[in-house]
Amino acid sequence: MSASNQPEGVGGGPLVDGPHDPEHDPRASYVLERDFVATLTGRVLATTGKTVTLVSPLDGAPLATIPQSSADDVAEAYRRARVAQAAWARTSMAERSAVMLRLHDLLMERMPDLLDMITLENGKARKHAYDEVVHTALTARYYARTSAKHMATERRGGVIPVATRIDINHVPKGVVGIISPWNYPLTMALSDGLPALMAGNAVVAKPDAQTMLTALMGVKLMDEAGFPKDLWQVVAGPGRELGTPMIDRSDYICFTGSTATGKLIAKQCAERLIGASLELGGKNPLLVLRDADVEKAAEGAVRASFSNAGQLCVSAERIFVADQVYDRFVERFVARTQAMTLGASLDWEVDMGPLISADQLETVNAHVDDAVEKGARVLTGGRARPDLAPYFYEPTILEGVSPDMTCFGHETFGPVVSIYRFHDESDAVARANDGEYGLNAAIFSQDGTRARAIARQVKCGTVNINEAFGATFGSVAAPMGGMRESGMGRRQGAEGIHRYTETQSVGTQRVVRLSPQFGLSSEQYAKVQVLGLKVLNKLGRA
């Protein structure tokens, strides 16, 4: 790539700085322009003097060094956030919304820079990076437009009609701790925190170590949009070191990651009696019913299984196909998978990029090798492709996967999907519900009414009809989250902002008091009250 066609950074500076002579210029060993990186990493509250080097999964090249925070830095972040939150809570909803809408516009304006960074840092195909930039913008716009309604004081019926007035307030919790993952480094870093800000809270965020720069680019845009800088604090470091200090100081925790870690966080939050929303693991099913449009189902299955190389919490890892269409579906699904363009670049033409790390590659290799050794058949894929990128693994379809194989019930979180034949829809639903997870499901059928009826039987927090995951994930007014061991709490919609508030009831009593008066004895007062209750029941009052 020549200097003239290299991608540009925020504000017009080059993301890729070159060419340089490696023998005389240390910048030659880094993909990203050092001054630009400094504008991002300067946002991390870190005083340890320690750094961690980030490398690109595209080619293993170093991207930047990230300063590391300590427990003391976490304490200072919360101190600053609490000061900022007190002032922010007094700002009007109109002011908050105006800043959020400026962020929406900046996300759209700087999209090419964001896509470059996400792909360089995460490895995903550019088209999948696009999905999360759009999702972040949609989230910003939705809460900018709807938060006044969600946060408005509600009137409820009082115990004595007219005489009792009840107002329900939604009061910000204070400072929210957000621990976000690497697989969707922009939207998972920002989108959970945006409604927290609109509710009047401050945020202390710890993005995943592997994708810090993308998260920091998002925070930089928030600063440009006009959010007070101290309102959104960023710390960096291992979760095992910073997680507990964050939980100890937060008024609420939002975490996206593994079920095992989520359970530990839930226990720690319970000890402090603070709330938490946890989006955790999944072994997501996709059902192809006998009346499905096979071509559309095959296209949807490719996106469901291989978007972001399968490193997606709502990605399908199990496909159940009706007898009547099984052979045709398998033929089309395999053909579409084999037609995918694989690569490790910033180009739009790439359909799937590499895995993010050696650890992810090792997990995928182990799951596939175990399945093959125990009798599973590889219909396509089934091998690593170091010729494409250090951590590349082909999109893989397995048939004949049985319960004794690791990938049968354990989340792979890679481009591997198992396909199963079913004879009876009730059996398919039972198999889809098998296991402890319940995050996302998809159903393909030309009968929407019947598919929606089946969806009610599927134990997943989101179910998509004739779509992989985008219908629910992209509809930011719709709550999203998991059942069972896939988590608790919901992002998006009214639920996504109310989780960051305390519900406060204010009762105003007028004219009459809730005790004997007008010379009534306690017994007479009770009889009057009973008569009143009977009348209200006759009138159909709740």
Burial of 37 (0-12, 13-18, 19+ CB in 10 A): buried
Tokens matching residue 132: 């999360």
Instruction: State how far the Cα of 134 lies from the Cα of 169, in Å rounded to an integer.
Output: 32
Q: Which run of H or of E encompasses 265?
A: helix 259-272
Whether the upstream peptide bond of residue 19 has omega within 30° of 0, thus cis, is yes
In the chain, how long is the greatest CA-to-CA distance?
Answer: 99
- Using the structure block, give the residue that is written with the tokens 């938060």: 147
Instruction: State how far the Cα of 145 lies from the Cα of 164, in Å rounded to an integer.
Output: 32
E-strand spans in 82-152? none
Q: Are 436 and 483 in contact (CB under 8 A)?
A: no
Beta strand pairing call for 51-55 and 62-67: antiparallel
Helices (H) and strands (E) in the chain, counts: 19, 18
Tokens matching residue 72: 């003391």
Q: Which of 279, 317, 411, 467 is catalytic?
A: 279
E-strand spans in 212-309? 232-234, 252-256, 275-279, 284-288
Residues 6+ apart with CB under 8 A from 8: 14, 15, 112, 113
Report which residue type is found at 348.
W
Helix (H/G/I), strand (E/B), else coil: 382 = coil
Helix (H/G/I), strand (E/B), else coil: 421 = strand
Look at residues 65, 16, 20 and name the one whose alpha carbon lies nearest to residue 40.
Answer: 65
Count of Cβ atoms closer than 10 Å to residue 23 Cβ: 6
Instruction: State how far the Cα of 323 lies from the Cα of 430, in Å rounded to an integer.
Output: 16
Q: Which of 313, 317, 394, 467 is catalytic?
A: 313
Tell me the Cα Rg of the chain. 26
Instruction: State how far the Cα of 500 lies from the Cα of 277, in Å rounded to an integer.
Output: 10
Sign of the alpha-carbon torsion through 240, 246, 74, 72: negative
Tokens matching residue 269: 């939050």
* Backbone φ, ψ for residue 152 (5° rounding): -65, 145
Q: Is 495 a catalytic residue?
A: no
Helical residues (DSSP H) of 286-401, grouped into ranges: 294-306, 323-338, 358-373
Q: Is 279 a catalytic residue?
A: yes
Catalytic residue list: 279, 313
